[in-house]
């Protein structure tokens, strides 16, 4: 297959932990050809099809200079997206206006015959914080609001709460307010920018000490191991980007129950890969833009998540897929 990965700049990859890198490596191992571009490289003009300025690459196996761009003319670099067998959208958050516009360009490419994973419409329809609203049976007490008074009432009811922006990533902007309510007003003002931005407020789940588990679902089916991101020191955040320690572990019965309930639903909507975040028994987020943790799980358990992903990708492209 001819694969195009839409991602952040290749030069920024930290390949010892990067999930997109191991996807590429497994695809190349199977004989698929690789190309890469960034969202800014995609364009459309009336009378033509969605195109991108791409780099055709091969992986070298070297840890420092990990890829080589193959020689090509400027004409060869300008490709119609429909000419690839599959396009893998792996641009990291934030889900900002430019990301939103990229999904519309990719959806136009789909109308022209391109196969995009995850589907652009599904990316738009599942904001990673708000996607949990559809599954209240699996989440803890949660409030989405701009109203400072509603947040005060939620705190009065639950005593120990977490506040976070809807567009945050990697643990950025997450605050805990305990029963004393210290700084609740100022934190609310900071996050909601004096009532102009909505926040998510959730009851604090003490099970976070055991980790914020990333449960991966590929092709509608759960990967048998999760990665528990465990907060370190006085941190309340388990995110690896915030210094959390990643510990791979077999799915619990509750993890599997959640994944088996949500997985087929998400897959039927075009989400080939999703990362469900679980604290204790509760879903806290559903990650769909560029779920990670492939390498950490493989390094600790030997479960080859990248191979499971490429299996699912091949099946989806060939029409053999079925959740």
Residue 129 bears catalytic tag: yes
User: Which residue ranges of the chain lie beneath pLDDT 50?
Assistant: 323
Q: Which two tokens stand for residue 196?
A: 């102009």
Residue 285 bears catalytic tag: yes
Report the side by side order of strands in the sheet with 78-80: 42-43, 51-53, 78-80
Exactly one of 129, 212, 239, 255 is catalytic; which is it? 129
Whole-number pLDDT of residue 107: 98
CA distances (Å), origin 9, targets 28, 36, 272: 19, 9, 23
Whole-number pLDDT of residue 73: 86
Exactly one of 18, 212, 277, 296 is catalytic; which is it? 277
Whole-number pLDDT of residue 167: 86
Exactly one of 90, 164, 203, 213 is catalytic; which is it? 164
Exactly one of 192, 214, 255, 296 is catalytic; which is it? 214
Residue 164 bears catalytic tag: yes
Whole-number pLDDT of residue 146: 96
Residue 229 bears catalytic tag: yes
Third-level CATH fold of 2-118:
Rossmann fold (3.40.50)
Contact 214, 293 (CB under 8 A): yes
Residue 115 bears catalytic tag: no
Give domain limits for the chain. 2-118, 141-204, 207-318
Exactly one of 115, 237, 255, 296 is catalytic; which is it? 237
Question: φ, ψ for residue 99 (rounded to 5)?
Answer: -65, -45
Whole-number pLDDT of residue 239: 75
Exactly one of 91, 203, 213, 229 is catalytic; which is it? 229
Residue 30 bears catalytic tag: no
Exactly one of 110, 128, 285, 296 is catalytic; which is it? 285
141-204 maps to CATH 3.30.1490.20 = yes
Q: At the fourth CATH level, which superfamily is domain 207-318?
A: ATP-grasp fold, B domain (3.30.470.20)
Residue 314 bears catalytic tag: no
Buried b vs exposed e over 150-168: b needs ≥16 C-beta within 10 Å? ebeebbeebeebbbbbbbb
Q: Which two tokens stand for residue 197?
A: 């931005």
Whole-number pLDDT of residue 242: 67
Model-wide pTM > 0.85: yes
268 burial via Cβ count (<10 Å: 0-12, 13-18, 19+): exposed
């Amino acid at each position: 297959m001819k694969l195009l990965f839409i991602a952040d700049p290749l030069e920024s990859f930290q390949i010892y932990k990067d999930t997109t890198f191991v996807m590429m490596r497994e695809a190349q191992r199977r004989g698929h050809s690789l190309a890469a571009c960034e969202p800014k490289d995609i364009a459309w003009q009336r009378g033509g099809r969605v195109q991108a300025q791409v780099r055709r690459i091969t992986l070298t196996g070297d840890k420092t200079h990990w890829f080589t761009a193959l020689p090509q003319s400027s004409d060869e670099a300008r490709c119609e997206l429909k000419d690839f067998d599959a396009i893998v959208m792996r641009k990291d958050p934030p889900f900002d206006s430019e990301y939103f516009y990229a999904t519309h360009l990719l959806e136009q490419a789909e109308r022209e015959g391109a196969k995009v994973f995850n589907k652009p419409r599904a990316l738009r329809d599942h904001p990673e914080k708000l996607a949990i609203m559809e599954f209240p049976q699996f989440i803890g007490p949660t409030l989405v609001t701009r109203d400072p008074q509603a947040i005060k009432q939620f705190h009065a009811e639950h005593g120990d709460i977490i506040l976070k922006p809807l567009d945050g990533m990697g643990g950025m902007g997450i605050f805990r307010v305990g029963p004393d309510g210290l700084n609740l007003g100022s934190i609310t003002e900071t996050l909601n920018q004096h009532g102009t931005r909505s926040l998510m407020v959730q009851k604090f789940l003490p099970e976070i000490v055991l980790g914020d588990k990333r449960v991966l679902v590929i092709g509608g089916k759960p990967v048998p191991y999760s990665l528990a991101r465990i907060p370190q020191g006085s941190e309340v955040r388990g995110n690896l980007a915030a210094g959390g320690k990643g510990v791979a572990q077999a799915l619990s019965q509750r993890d599997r129950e959640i994944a088996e309930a949500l997985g087929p639903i998400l897959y039927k909507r075009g989400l080939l890969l999703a990362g469900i975040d679980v604290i204790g028994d509760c879903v806290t987020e559903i990650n769909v833009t560029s779920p990670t943790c492939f390498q950490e799980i493989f390094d600790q358990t030997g479960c080859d998540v990248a191979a499971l992903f490429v299996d699912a990708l091949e099946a989806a492209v060939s029409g053999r897929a079925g959740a």
